[in-house]
C-alpha cells in the first residue's frame, strides 16, 4: 500500500517572553506578587528598589510603559492603595498565599507536556471552579485551540490525576472514580462505577443484592467512599487566615475610585550604576551582552507590574458597569455576566480575564468578595424573562434554609415556592440548581 505524505502549513500565535511574564504576574495575588518582586530583585542585579522617600519615585511611576488603555492615574496610584500593605502589614505577618491553581500549574512540569499541551492544561486548570470541578464544557476549550474534543481529553486525563486527585472532574462520579482507580477490584470502586445512582440515593439494600456482598463488607466500602474528597478544590483557602484584597473600590459621588492594593509593594527601577556603565561603554562585549539581557528582563518586569495594575483596574471598572444594581446596594441581584463579556468590553483575551479574577479579592463598601463572585450564568424563565442564575440560587437557598426540616420541601414544592416569588422554571432546572448548591433531595434533608 502506497504511503502518501502531506505537508500542511498552519499558523499559530505564540506568546512573546514579555507577554508570558505579564500573564504570570497577572495571575498572582497581592501577597505572591510581592514575593515575586523580592525574588526578582535577588536574581536581577539591574533591578533596584526605589526608596519610598526618593523624590524620583513619581517620575519612575509616570515613565512605566503602559498600554494605551483609558485608566486615570488616580485610579492606579491613589494613596488609598497603601492602606492594607503599609498600615496593617506593620503588625501582621503575611502568610504565603500560594494558591491551589498555582500548585497545579507547578505540577505540570512533571507531566512531560510540550508547549502547546501545557497551554491547554493551564486553560483547563484556570477553568476549574472553587469546588475543583471543570466549570466549562471541554468542547469549548477544544474550540478555542481549534482542536477536537478527543484531542483535549488525554490532557484533561493527566490534569485530573494531579494532586489533589479528581481536580477538574466534570461530575461527582468521575471525581470519585479517579480517586478509586487504583482499587478497581474493590467493592468501593464497583459501587461508584456500576451503581452510582443507587449509592447517591442510599439504596443500600439494592446494592447489596446486586453485588451479593455481606452487610459488613458493604458498610466498609461505603465508609471508604465517604472518606474520599468530593470537592477537590475546597479547603485549600482555609489554610490562609488572612485575605488581602487585591483591589479596593470606594464610592466617590456618582463614580467609583478603583485602586490596586499594592502601595506597600516595592517600586522598581533600573540600576543607574549599570545603566551608566552601558552608556559610557566601559564594559567588554560579553559583559555588555549579559547586562543588556538583564536590562531587557528588568524593563519587561517593570512593564508587567504596571500592566497588571492597568488590567486589574479595567477589569474591576468593567464589572462595576456590568453590575450596577449590586454596587448600588442590592446585593441580592447580579446580572448574567460571563468572562467573555468583560474580555470583549476591554478588548482582551478571555484567559487574561480569568487570570485577573481567579483568586483575586476586592474590598467594597459591602465587604470583601472574590472577583469571580460577580460572574453568573443566564437562565431564561418560562415567561421569557432572562435572569442571572445567582438570583435564582439566592432565592432557592432562602427557601430551603427556612423550610420546616421535619417536612422538607420536594422539588415540586420548591418549584411552586419559586413561582410565588416570580420565578417560573422547570422542575429539572430547580433540581439541578439544588444539587449544584450542595443540598440533597428532600428525604435526605429531613430532621427528627
Per-residue pLDDT at 312 exceeds 90: yes
d(CA 394, CA 387) in angstroms, rounded, equals 12
Per-residue pLDDT at 277 exceeds 70: no
d(CA 89, CA 262) in angstroms, rounded, equals 12
Residues 56-79 have a mean pLDDT of 40
Highest-pLDDT range among 120-129, 220-229, 353-362, 436-445: 220-229
Per-residue pLDDT at 70 exceeds 60: no
Residues 38-67 have a mean pLDDT of 63
Per-residue pLDDT at 298 exceeds 80: yes
SS3 51: coil
Does pTM top 0.75 for this prediction?
Answer: no
d(CA 382, CA 377) in angstroms, rounded, equals 16
Residues 79-95 have a mean pLDDT of 39
Compute how many other C-beta atoms are within 10 angstroms of the C-beta atom of residue 425.
19
Q: What is the pLDDT of residue 179?
A: 95
Highest-pLDDT range among 47-61, 128-142, 299-313: 299-313
Highest-pLDDT range among 30-39, 86-95, 171-180, 194-203: 171-180
Q: Spell 429-442 as b/e; 16+ CB within 10 A means b.
A: bbbebbeeeebebb
Output DSSP code: residue 29. Answer: -
Residues 247-258 have a mean pLDDT of 90
Alpha carbon distance, N-terminus to C-terminus of the chain: 75
d(CA 374, CA 390) in angstroms, rounded, equals 9
Highest-pLDDT range among 99-108, 159-168, 385-394: 159-168
Give the start-to-end residue ranges of the domains of the chain: 18-92+242-370, 172-226, 378-445
Closest CA to 425 of 376, 377, 378, 383: 383
Q: What is the pLDDT of residue 85?
A: 38
What would be the CATH architecture of the domain defined by 378-445?
Answer: Orthogonal Bundle (1.10)
Residues 70-99 have a mean pLDDT of 41
Total length of the chain:
448
Per-residue pLDDT at 63 exceeds 60: no
Residues 147-169 have a mean pLDDT of 93
Of the pLDDT bands very low, low, confident and very high (cuts 50, 70, 90), residue 165 is very high
Per-residue pLDDT at 71 exceeds 50: no
Phi, psi of 66, deg, nearest 5:
-130, 140
Position with higher pLDDT, 376 vs 239: 376
Of the pLDDT bands very low, low, confident and very high (cuts 50, 70, 90), residue 202 is confident
Share of the chain above pLDDT 70, in %: 81
Compute how many other C-beta atoms are within 10 angstroms of the C-beta atom of residue 91.
6
Amino acid at each position: 500500500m502506497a504511503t502518501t505524505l502531506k505537508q500542511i502549513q498552519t499558523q499559530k500565535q505564540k506568546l512573546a517572553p514579555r507577554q508570558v511574564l505579564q500573564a504570570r504576574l497577572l495571575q498572582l495575588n497581592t501577597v505572591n506578587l510581592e514575593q515575586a518582586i523580592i525574588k526578582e530583585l535577588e536574581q536581577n542585579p539591574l533591578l533596584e528598589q526605589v526608596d519610598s522617600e526618593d523624590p524620583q519615585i513619581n517620575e519612575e511611576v509616570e515613565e512605566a510603559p503602559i498600554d494605551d488603555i483609558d485608566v486615570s492615574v488616580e485610579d492606579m496610584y491613589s494613596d488609598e492603595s497603601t492602606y492594607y500593605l503599609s498600615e496593617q502589614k506593620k503588625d501582621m505577618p503575611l502568610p504565603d498565599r500560594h494558591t491551589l491553581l498555582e500548585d497545579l500549574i507547578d505540577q505540570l512540569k512533571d507531566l512531560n507536556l510540550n508547549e502547546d499541551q501545557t497551554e491547554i492544561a493551564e486553560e483547563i486548570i484556570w477553568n476549574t471552579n472553587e469546588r475543583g470541578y471543570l466549570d466549562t464544557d471541554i468542547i469549548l476549550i477544544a474550540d478555542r485551540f481549534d482542536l477536537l474534543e478527543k484531542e483535549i481529553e488525554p490532557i484533561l486525563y493527566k490534569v485530573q490525576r494531579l494532586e489533589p486527585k479528581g481536580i477538574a472532574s466534570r461530575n461527582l462520579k468521575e471525581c470519585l472514580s479517579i480517586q478509586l482507580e487504583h482499587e478497581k477490584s474493590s467493592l468501593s470502586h464497583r459501587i461508584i462505577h456500576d451503581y452510582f445512582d443507587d449509592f447517591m440515593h442510599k439504596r443500600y439494600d439494592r446494592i447489596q443484592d446486586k453485588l451479593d456482598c455481606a452487610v459488613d463488607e458493604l458498610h466498609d466500602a461505603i465508609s471508604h467512599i465517604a472518606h474520599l474528597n468530593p470537592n477537590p478544590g475546597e479547603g485549600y483557602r482555609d489554610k490562609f487566615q488572612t485575605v488581602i484584597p487585591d483591589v479596593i473600590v470606594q464610592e466617590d459621588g456618582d463614580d467609583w475610585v478603583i485602586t490596586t492594593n499594592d502601595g506597600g509593594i516595592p517600586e522598581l527601577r533600573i540600576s543607574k550604576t549599570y545603566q551608566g556603565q552601558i552608556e559610557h561603554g566601559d564594559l567588554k562585549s560579553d559583559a555588555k551582552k549579559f547586562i543588556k539581557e538583564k536590562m531587557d528582563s528588568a524593563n519587561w518586569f517593570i512593564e508587567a507590574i504596571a500592566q497588571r495594575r492597568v488590567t486589574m483596574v479595567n477589569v474591576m471598572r468593567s464589572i462595576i458597569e456590568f453590575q450596577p444594581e449590586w454596587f448600588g446596594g442590592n446585593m441580592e441581584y447580579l446580572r448574567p455576566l460571563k468572562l467573555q463579556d468583560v474580555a470583549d468590553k476591554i478588548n482582551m483575551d478571555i484567559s487574561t480575564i480569568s487570570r485577573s479574577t481567579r483568586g483575586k479579592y476586592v474590598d467594597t463598601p459591602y465587604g470583601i468578595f472574590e472577583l469571580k463572585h460577580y460572574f453568573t450564568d443566564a437562565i431564561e424563565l418560562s415567561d421569557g424573562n432572562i435572569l442571572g442564575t445567582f438570583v435564582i440560587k439566592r432565592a432557592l437557598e432562602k427557601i430551603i434554609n427556612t423550610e420546616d426540616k421535619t417536612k422538607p420541601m420536594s422539588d415540586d414544592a420548591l418549584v411552586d415556592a419559586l413561582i410565588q416569588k416570580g420565578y417560573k422554571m422547570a422542575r429539572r432546572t430547580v433540581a439541578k440548581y439544588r444539587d449544584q448548591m450542595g443540598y440533597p433531595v428532600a428525604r435526605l434533608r429531613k430532621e427528627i
